[in-house]
Amino acid sequence: MASAILHIKDAYYFDVPKFMWRHDYTSLDQVPAFLRDRHPHATPEEFNEALDGKILIPQPFGTLKNLYEKESGFAISKFMVLELLVALIMAVLFIRLATKMRTTLVPRGRMWHFLEGILFYIRDEIAMPAIGHHDADRFVPLLWTMFFFILLCNVMGLVPWAGSPTASFGVTLALAAVTLTTVLVAGMMKFGFVGFWLNQIPHMELPLVLAIFLKPMIFVIEVVGLVIRHGVLAVRLLANMMAGHVVLLAVMALAFSVAGAASEKWWLTAFISVIGSTLLCCLELFVAVLQAYVFTFLSALFIGSAVHRH
Amino acid sequence: MLSTFRALILVAIVFAWTVGPAGVVAVHAAEGEHAHIGHADAGDSIEKPSEIKSDLAFFTFVVFLLLLAILGKFAWGPIVASLEKREEAIAKHIADAERMNQEAKALLAQYEEKLAAAASQVREMMEDARRDAEHTRQTILAEAKSGADAERARSLREIESATDAALETLAERSAQLAVELAGKILKFKLSSDDHARLIQEALAKFPAAASSAN
């Protein structure tokens, strides 16, 4: 049974209104093999009807099980395409900004001032206080990339027929893994391998006997805490993006749930649904920016605590 | 802003009107019939939000690192360099402005000094002029005074000599009258020599009497 949540999750096709993308399968040979194999009794017309409005992504490196799961190999999904799009947008924007900044002392134009303002904010208000003036400069590019990548991925969820890659656990975990890797590498480069792990134990004035007993336990707690902290980073972003989309979906589903009801009920519900989803989209936009900020800020804090002695 | 919002609402209403309940029912009916196409052999986690797709995670990690590398080389590096250049330029501008301000202040002080010197010079000149004027006035006054004094003295002298002449005439006349009167009385007793001698004696006495009376 089709579940509404499939509209939020990653898939191997882009969902657009049916009239925008028609399939004209005349024989079963034209239908993708994985669909044909799973539905041996369906006619080409049935496939056409079911697949209208679904832009299937070509899969040169893998095979699919269904539209949401792969069978084998490496399958290219909607979110991967969107991530590439985000990366492309970022590359175009910031390389242009860099070119402009190189040629003129202060580039003119609202767009460039806007981008510069955000870059300045991340450097001066996030990186500097969280990591410290001495070390911040090395990590500022990472935080810049992180903020804009997450922000644009979040905002993609508000673009019609696109979707939010950050509403997928794989993506948020990968991003948290970037932070964790940075914390480990930066910490070990600063204090050495052993020094980094010893640095996890907070400094305490303990009698030797107690120290032998307590410090290993504290070490275990701190290391587990380190992993959990980064895991929570992923879960927080995922939950925020997912929850926003689920609520939006639920409000939109109100209209569908009364489909076929008496006209005045339909109109009332549709009205509520349209107004509600508009307002929720505004909220989503705010959450998209907020969560990008929170992720970046917490990453900066974790990096800061890794490169400073406790 | 508000008009855009209104337009959006209008579009939504028109859309709802044209597609209408019938369209929604049709879509739903189609979904219902063929809902299973595309979801065959669905795994347990297909509807779980927490499903982890390793392909996607790996892809994200790689894309992010590549993006970081590319932007680091072509965007962040030049941007940081430009920012540093800008900061230096701004610091230089501030330093320049400060230096110029100092110079301007020094110049101002210099000019103020000059102005003060000029003012005191002017004051001195005025003082001199005033002194000169005073001197000239005094001179003119003194000259006028001495002129007036001389004139007065001359007048006095003239008056005196006129008085003397008048007194002389008067004495001569009165002596003559006295002599004539006495001659009438003594008609014959006095010769004309006696007469003249008497007049001479009287005249010799007169000036002494006149000056003592004066």
Residue A270: list chain B partners with CB under 8 A.
16
Residue B27 pLDDT grade (very low, low, confident, very high; cuts 50, 70, 90): very low
**Mean pLDDT across the stretch A190-217?**
86
What's the CA gap between A122 and A132, in Å, rounded? 13
Least confident of A133-137, A229-233, B13-17, B178-182: B13-17
pLDDT beyond 60 at A135: yes
pLDDT for position B107:
95
Put simply, the chain B residues between 9 and 48 with a CB less than 8 A from any chain A CB are 9, 12, 16, 21, 24-25, 27-28, 30-31, 33-43, 46-47
Cβ–Cβ under 8 Å, residues A71 and A36: no
pLDDT beyond 50 at B32: no
Q: Which residues, including other chains, have CB under 8 Å from residue A82's CB and lie 6 or more apart?
A: A153, A156, A162, A163, A165
A47 touches chain B (CB under 8 A): yes
**Mean pLDDT across the stretch A155-184?**
94
Residue A299 pLDDT grade (very low, low, confident, very high; cuts 50, 70, 90): very high
Cβ within 8 Å, pair A98-B75: yes
**Mean pLDDT across the stretch B21-45?**
54
Sign (positive/negative) of CA torsion B127, B133, B139, B141? negative
Give the tokens for residue A250. 């639920």
H-assigned helices in chain A: 33-38, 44-51, 78-103, 110-121, 128-131, 133-156, 169-191, 193-198, 208-257, 263-306
Cβ within 8 Å, pair A256-B28: yes
Cβ–Cβ under 8 Å, residues A196 and A190: yes
Cβ within 8 Å, pair B74-A66: no
User: Which of B25, B46, B70 lies at the smallest CB-CB distance from A260?
Assistant: B25
- Which of these, A273, A253, A269, lies nearest to A261 by C-alpha position? A269
In which element (H, E) is residue A14 found?
Answer: strand A13-15
**Mean pLDDT across the stretch A192-209?**
85
Chain A residue at shortest CA distance from B71: A91
**Mean pLDDT across the stretch A69-88?**
92
**Mean pLDDT across the stretch A132-153?**
94
A43 touches chain B (CB under 8 A): no
pLDDT beyond 80 at A304: yes
Residue B28 pLDDT grade (very low, low, confident, very high; cuts 50, 70, 90): very low
B109-128 pLDDT tens trace:
999 999 999 999 999 999 99
pLDDT for position B22:
41
B55-101 pLDDT tens trace:
899 999 999 999 999 999 999 999 999 988 888 999 999 999 999 99
pLDDT for position B8:
63
Least confident of A105-109, A160-164, A234-238, B9-13: B9-13
Residue B11 pLDDT grade (very low, low, confident, very high; cuts 50, 70, 90): low
Helix and strand counts by DSSP (H, E) for chain B = 4, 0
DSSP state at residue A159? S
Least confident of A61-70, A155-164, B60-69: A61-70
DSSP state at residue B76? I
pLDDT beyond 60 at A203: yes
pLDDT beyond 60 at B21: no
A99 touches chain B (CB under 8 A): yes
